[in-house]
Chain A
Amino acid sequence: MVNPILLIVVPLGLAFALPIVNLISKKIIKYIPVLAFLFNLILSLLLIPKVLEQTIIVKIGGFHPPFGINLFVGPVGILFSTLIALAGFLVSIYALSYIKEGPKEKYHILYLLLLTGATGVVLTGDMFNLFVFFEILCISSYALVAYLGNKAGIESSIKYLIQGSVGSSLLLLGIGLLYGQLGTLNMADIANQINSISSPSIFVPMIFIITGLGIEAAIFPLNAWLPDAHSSAPSSISAILSGIAIEVGLYAVIRVIFTIFNASSFLMFFVFLGVLTLLIGEMSAFSQKNIKRMLAYSSIGQIGLIMFAISLNTQLGISAGFFQMISHTLGKGLLFLSVGFLIYKTGSMKISSFEGIGKKMPITSLLFTIGAFSIVGLPPFAGFASKFMIIKAALTTGQLLFTVLIGVILLGTVIEGAYFFKVIQSIYFKGTTDIIKRDEAPLIALISMSIFVLLIIFIGVYPDFIARILNSAASEFINRIDYIRSVLG
């Protein structure tokens, strides 16, 4: 049997091997991330059927939990690692033609580390290990945000760094407090013993941990770093930050709430917070003139929607939340990638500078349009299927409150539709009517983006394809006891 630990080891090892390879040949380094994530993708896909049968617990060094560090490769973990590998693979193909300037080897190292961190966060079963991977994820993203080296990039990177460090300190503080009281760092073991101590002394570490993780998860009002960071990073990184990093952060938050603290009574608060995050995100995006900021705010809105769905705390709601994560990764990834070349060719991030670009870059513009349609939730694209599921989940609860909140969320969708459709109009129906010479994005980038589109359409038309894994993933969160039992035996 293949060991899931390779999912972390291979990209991490390649990241450290990359400087050595760089000494040998500067040309081949950019293919290393492609290889790494192709490997991860294949491995994850191979693991899915096994994991769906039975959760794989990897005991590192042969120590049995709660001693030593263990990986918990359950449906959620494998779902995320597949998603990370998929996005990582496609974006690294895109980056082959997109990343041309700057310290390239550092980009590729950091890119590998960023996604290694993300994979580690979703697979680990140890609290401190979670913190470590989280730091890998965060630190590499601070650096990547400033990759372009311009003023805006460095400024927003520092802002991100400050807020991120506050978050990390809080997280570490929380973990320390827990360790002091329980004497264990194993997540299953903490979860097992959490009821043995009084609730005030768990509450303090819990809010520290939630806040610390919530900063990366872009929960309102902890998301102020996001618009700056996502808009000044190179587009390939924005795609990963929006599509993967914040979702991994959100994963960590809900893992902590559901599995470790069993704080599902707190979820009602998160329902409102989710709706608020959504509204603030969409409303802030509405009047943006800068396309990448607009997309970044839209990500905040999407995170709010995911939070809402998961906080419904039902089987259907959690699966719908995961589904929304998948469609957001695909849709927002596609949007950032296509915008990357639109910006590259026009030299400006202003929406008004895209007027008439639909003639110059018809395929890239079409890809952008499909991504926008999917994010707004129009059929037959993936965003519709996930939105459908979320509304269904909310209405299945049968509570009037959720029905009303769905109304508010759909209002957010209308706002979202309005600003995306305005951009589509500028791309296609403004600017010169003369025939312009085509100046399309490079083929390799187009192929990578087209795979996103195919997946968006495929999942949108055939959502049952992923229904099973979504369902098991939701069960993993709901059945906390199973999690503890499968680790501690």
Chain B
Amino acid sequence: MSLELLLIIAFSGAFLTYLSGKISSQLRDGVAVLISLGLVAIVSFLYNVQTETVFYQGFFGISLILRMNSLAWFFAIAIVSFTALCIIYSLSYMKDCERSNYYYFMMLLINASMLTIVLAGDLVTFFVAWEIMSWSTFLLISYNRNGALQAGIKYIVLSLIGSMCMLVGILSIYTSFGTVNIADVANHLTPSSVGYKLFLLIIFSITFGIKNAIMPLHTWLPDAYAESPSPFSAVLSGMLTRMGVFGFLLIMYVIVGMKTTLHLGRGFLSFNTILCWLGAITIVIPTFIAMLQNDAKKLLAWHGIGQGGYMIVGIAFGTSLGAAGGIFHTLNHATYIVLLFLSVGAIEYSTNGLRDLNSLGGLFKKMPIAFFGGLLGISGLIGVPLTNGFVSKWLIYKTLILGNAPFLAFAALLGTWGTVLSVYKFLHNLFLGQLPEEHKEIKKAPLTMQIPIVILSFTIILFGILPGLPLKVINSIIVAAGFQALDINIWGVTSETGTLNMLNIFAAIAVFGAIFWGIFKVARKSTPVDQYDNYAAGAAVPKNKYHYTVEYYAPFYRMGKPFLKDIFDMFYNRIAEAIGSICDSVRKIYTGYVGSYVMYIVLFIASLIFVQLTWSIF
């Protein structure tokens, strides 16, 4: 199966879905699912294929190339799988929404453009796909109207700034070396000066940093995640944002090359150390800001930023273990964040769009599947053993400890600590505690929404117990980037400095679990009580008078609120306002009075004469 055909199917599938929606919505749903599952099948057949094709030469004579290798495959399979799950989920979630044809069209278009990004073998294809992804994302973020509009503008402006940086970078490469083929560029770049390499790294880092929401470039993300339709929030957080990680891998370890990237600068002031520290800041601050959120999706969004920090720390640290951890964490994060967004989406669906943590609660019995999804999701997010998040976080911690970076390791730990607190709030306020009276009778989440949740929950456990499956592919990625190969087996990683074997952990947990189960079995029976049998301070809680998920962590909230502000967001808003008012005053040049306009003509002549008299250029 050639790569062109894959992309043709992906892009034309998007159009086909839109057109079939004009005929009937059932047909459209069928086509959308078929296309997305078909892409999963095709991409999985391409496993272990190494190929490269020039598919077009009509763009200024530049050879546009598609390339498949382990890095591309790893991201491609993740993109198509997560999108397919989200499409299946959307079938019922988006059922009665307006413009659903448009929604599916954009989802599949974004899917196709992300696929093109990872398959691109040259920078122009990469850029074009990147831009298509950016504007189609903008169109889908704005979908929910109202608050979404502001989020959309914020996203597209930052995204445009990023792409303009990248465009300059790409064209500077093109004019310097006459080629945009990634492999050739890497070869040409080896002898060029350190300054130029640093310039490229920085300019591309701005682009990818914006996409991956590294502090201080993260401000578009919370609003965008919160305001999008939930299945799209899932794609956005799971894969689209992580195109930034892909970009970092590409620029640092494919284009500039590992050996150079890791030796740019001296001591603390080197490129990758600074990036590591930005990553560490990105881990800590957003995780604590997440704790203050009362909107379930915003809480997840802030975690999305924080988890991105782990990936960056792992990748930028630049050891085999770190890079593997960073890449693996990208996949793992996608699994559980998609799961969490889908679970929140299920609640939104059942409660008519509620996602306020202060007014929900006790949904555990009503929505068991969503609850287990949420539970496994937050376990992955925290990194509880036997979930996939544990393995990648273990790899990253190990890297930091072995690499003598105690402060970074501390930041990573601090992040986990904050995560535990805030996701407990998430789980508790949604599923545990009191069930508000009005949610006694709620819509049941349909099967098409439950299937993706179940599949993702299963994946979390699967990759948690058998991390060797994905690590095998990741190993070949890091080997291709020039790192030392890791010793991978199906249960984990072996190395002389420490071995991770999930089999042992699994066995240990199983044994302890059995013992505890036995103890509880023997001990005195507990009495199950009704969900409404609640007491506070020894007195029965009056119904609908007191809801104790409200203002969870209130003391912390009071303490942290003054410090945990998104100062960058405020700063950028200030800049935007300033630019707006400057623009407004510039407009006043055009006074509307002809006399002054004629004056301008005279001034123009005067300035020409002035230029001539001063520099006598003519």
User: C-beta contact mask, A381-415 vs B, less than 8 Å → 1, else 0?
Assistant: 00011001101100110100001001100110111
Chain B hits for A380, CB < 8 A: 128, 132
B600 engages A224 (CB within 8 Å): yes
User: C-beta contact mask, B123-154 vs A, less than 8 Å → 1, else 0?
Assistant: 00001100110010011001101001100110
Cα A267 to Cα B617 in complex, Å, equals 10
Cα A225 to Cα B601 in complex, Å, equals 11
Q: Which residues of chain A from 428 to 479 have any CB-CB distance to chain B below 8 Å in the complex?
A: 428-430, 433, 461-465, 467
Q: Contacts A159-B594, A268-B617 hold; do A378 and B135 have CB atoms under 8 A apart? A: yes
- Stretch binding the partner chain, chosen from A179-187, A206-214, A234-242, A304-312: A206-214
B583 at the interface (CB under 8 A from A): yes
Instruction: List the A residue with the shortest CB-CB distance to B157.
Output: A418
A-B contact count (CB 8 A): 172
CB distance from A372 to the nearest CB of B (A): 10
- Stretch binding the partner chain, chosen from A71-79, A112-120, A283-291, A344-352: A283-291
CB distance from B380 to the nearest CB of A (A): 34
Interface of A is mostly: helix
A16 at the interface (CB under 8 A from B): no
A150 at the interface (CB under 8 A from B): no
Cα A265 to Cα B618 in complex, Å, equals 6
B49 at the interface (CB under 8 A from A): no
Cα A389 to Cα B611 in complex, Å, equals 30
B462 at the interface (CB under 8 A from A): no
Which one of A203, A283, A384, A407 has the highest number of Cβ atoms from chain B below 10 Å of its Cβ? A283
B148 engages A429 (CB within 8 Å): yes
Q: Which residue in A269, A414, A421 is a CB contact (below 8 Å) of B161?
A: A414
CB distance from B110 to the nearest CB of A (A): 15
For chain B, the bracket of interface size reads 35 or more
Chain A hits for B156, CB < 8 A: 417-418, 421
CB distance from B154 to the nearest CB of A (A): 10
Q: Which residue in A211, A225, A415, A418 is a CB contact (below 8 Å) of B597?
A: A225
Cα A418 to Cα B584 in complex, Å, equals 15
A385 engages B59 (CB within 8 Å): yes
Which one of A211, A280, A406, A429 has the highest number of Cβ atoms from chain B below 10 Å of its Cβ? A429
B59 engages A461 (CB within 8 Å): yes
For chain A, the bracket of interface size reads 35 or more
A13 at the interface (CB under 8 A from B): no
CB distance from B484 to the nearest CB of A (A): 38
Q: Which residue in A403, A407, A467 is a CB contact (below 8 Å) of B60?
A: A467
Which one of A158, A202, A461 has the highest number of Cβ atoms from chain B below 10 Å of its Cβ? A461
Cα A392 to Cα B60 in complex, Å, equals 11
Q: Contacts A203-B618, A429-B145 hold; do A269 and B611 have CB atoms under 8 A apart? A: yes
Instruction: List the A residue with the shortest CB-CB distance to B130.
Output: A379
Q: Contacts A207-B609, A283-B583, A461-B58 hold; do A388 and B167 have CB atoms under 8 A apart? A: yes
Q: Contacts A203-B618, A207-B608, A461-B58 hold; do A392 and B174 have CB atoms under 8 A apart? A: yes
B269 at the interface (CB under 8 A from A): no
Q: Which residues of chain B from 562 to 618 have any CB-CB distance to chain A below 8 Å in the complex?
A: 579-580, 582-584, 586-587, 589-592, 594, 596-598, 600-601, 603-605, 608-609, 611-612, 617-618
Cα A415 to Cα B583 in complex, Å, equals 10
- Stretch binding the partner chain, chosen from A32-40, A96-104, A161-169: A161-169
B145 engages A430 (CB within 8 Å): yes
User: C-beta contact mask, A247-270 vs B, less than 8 Å → 1, else 0?
Assistant: 000000000000001010110110
A199 at the interface (CB under 8 A from B): yes
Instruction: List the A residue with the shortest CB-CB distance to B152.
Output: A425
Cα A145 to Cα B449 in complex, Å, equals 58
A379 engages B127 (CB within 8 Å): yes
Cα A384 to Cα B130 in complex, Å, equals 13
Instruction: List the A residue with the shortest CB-CB distance to B606.
Output: A207
Q: Contacts A159-B594, A214-B604 hold; do A428 and B164 have CB atoms under 8 A apart? A: no
CB distance from B551 to the nearest CB of A (A): 33
Instruction: List the A residue with the shortest CB-CB distance to B125.
Output: A379
B586 engages A283 (CB within 8 Å): yes
B172 engages A421 (CB within 8 Å): no
A222 at the interface (CB under 8 A from B): yes
Cα A385 to Cα B58 in complex, Å, equals 11
B31 at the interface (CB under 8 A from A): no
Which one of B59, B149, B157 has the highest number of Cβ atoms from chain A below 10 Å of its Cβ? B59
CB distance from B386 to the nearest CB of A (A): 43
Instruction: List the B residue with the shortest CB-CB distance to A414.
Output: B160
Instruction: List the B residue with the shortest CB-CB distance to A221.
Output: B600
Cα A266 to Cα B607 in complex, Å, equals 12
Q: Contacts A391-B171, A418-B157 hold; do A163 and B597 have CB atoms under 8 A apart? A: yes
Chain A hits for B596, CB < 8 A: 224
B590 engages A284 (CB within 8 Å): yes
B98 at the interface (CB under 8 A from A): yes
Instruction: List the A residue with the shortest CB-CB distance to B595.
Output: A162
B586 engages A280 (CB within 8 Å): yes
Q: Contacts A210-B608, A263-B618, A388-B171 hold; do A425 and B153 have CB atoms under 8 A apart? A: yes
B601 engages A215 (CB within 8 Å): yes
Cα A429 to Cα B605 in complex, Å, equals 47
B168 at the interface (CB under 8 A from A): yes
Instruction: List the A residue with the shortest CB-CB distance to B590.
Output: A224
Chain A hits for B267, CB < 8 A: none
Cα A462 to Cα B171 in complex, Å, equals 18
CB distance from B279 to the nearest CB of A (A): 26
Cα A210 to Cα B605 in complex, Å, equals 9
Chain B hits for A403, CB < 8 A: 168, 172
A464 engages B60 (CB within 8 Å): yes
A266 engages B160 (CB within 8 Å): no
B193 at the interface (CB under 8 A from A): no
Cα A287 to Cα B481 in complex, Å, equals 48
Cα A380 to Cα B612 in complex, Å, equals 43
A64 at the interface (CB under 8 A from B): no
A392 engages B175 (CB within 8 Å): yes
Chain A hits for B597, CB < 8 A: 159, 162-163, 224-225
CB distance from B134 to the nearest CB of A (A): 8
Cα A422 to Cα B609 in complex, Å, equals 41
Chain A hits for B587, CB < 8 A: 283-284, 287-288
B61 at the interface (CB under 8 A from A): yes
A373 at the interface (CB under 8 A from B): yes
Chain A hits for B135, CB < 8 A: 373, 378
Return 24 A-B CB contacts under 8 Å, by A number.
A163-B597, A166-B598, A207-B608, A215-B601, A224-B597, A227-B590, A263-B618, A269-B611, A287-B583, A373-B135, A384-B131, A389-B60, A391-B171, A392-B171, A403-B172, A413-B160, A414-B157, A415-B579, A418-B153, A418-B160, A425-B152, A428-B139, A429-B145, A462-B59
Known: A395-B175, A417-B160. 13 other contacts (CB 8 A): A166-B601, A214-B604, A221-B604, A265-B617, A269-B608, A269-B611, A284-B589, A286-B583, A385-B59, A406-B168, A417-B156, A425-B153, A433-B145
Which A-B residue pairs are the 10 nearest by beta carbons? A410-B164, A224-B597, A221-B600, A286-B583, A379-B128, A283-B583, A284-B587, A283-B586, A462-B58, A207-B608
